[in-house]
Amino acid sequence: MCAVCATLGAAAEAGALSVPGLARGDAMSVFRVTKSENRNEVHYGLRVDAACSPRSEAPLVAYWRMFERGPSAIERLAAHEGRAYGIGSQRLVRVGERVELHTTLYAVPTRALRIIAVAQQGGCRAGAFTRIGAATLARLDAVHVVTAGFGLIDHIALLGHTADGRVVREVLQP
């Protein structure tokens, strides 16, 4: 089993990837963006079927978890928020019997993400993987945006884990 798959399996067993998805189970969250200015989060959810296969050629969706309004408040990104939180590209790639989604985000187009979904007994587990600091491939847990006021970004922190469980963090300057 590949190191990415082992990391995904370990994370799934630990429950680290069981964040609720969109209303009516539309998508499972694979990572999130938190902000310093409030508790609301942008989640990136993967739309898969019961067999853990992508539902479309572009199965990754971004949506708000509006925690400032309540624990189950969810809404779509507004059109003007796409440049900050939108999905830049999505390409499905078959790797043996596994399907991966290679994607980028508009805010950091040079940082490629690999989304992997694995069917497991009792459901589907998914995770996002990318380069974080010196780790060439780490599971992305969260992105934290620190604002400097007036909509300006001070820095962005990428947080994740390597295949051996080591915590990794990288700070990106705008």
- Percentage of residues of the chain with pLDDT beyond 70: 84
Please state whether the predicted TM-score (pTM) of the whole model is above 0.75: yes
- Angle at Cα 106 formed by Cα 174 and Cα 169, nearest 5°? 55
**Rounded CA separation 3/106 (Å):** 28
State yes or no: pLDDT of 97 exceeds 80. Answer: no
State yes or no: pLDDT of 94 exceeds 90. Answer: no
83, HSE (Cβ side, Cα atoms, 13 Å): 2
pLDDT recorded at residue 5: 45
The model's pLDDT over 124-136, given as tens digits with 9 standing for 90+, comes to 889 999 999 999 9
pLDDT confidence band for 98 (50 / 70 / 90): confident
In order of 30, 51, 85, 109, 166, the CA distances from 64 in angstroms are 13, 26, 10, 21, 29
Q: What is the mean pLDDT of residues 27-40?
A: 93
**Rounded CA separation 123/127 (Å):** 14
Q: Who wins on pLDDT, 32 or 5?
A: 32
Mean pLDDT of the chain: 84
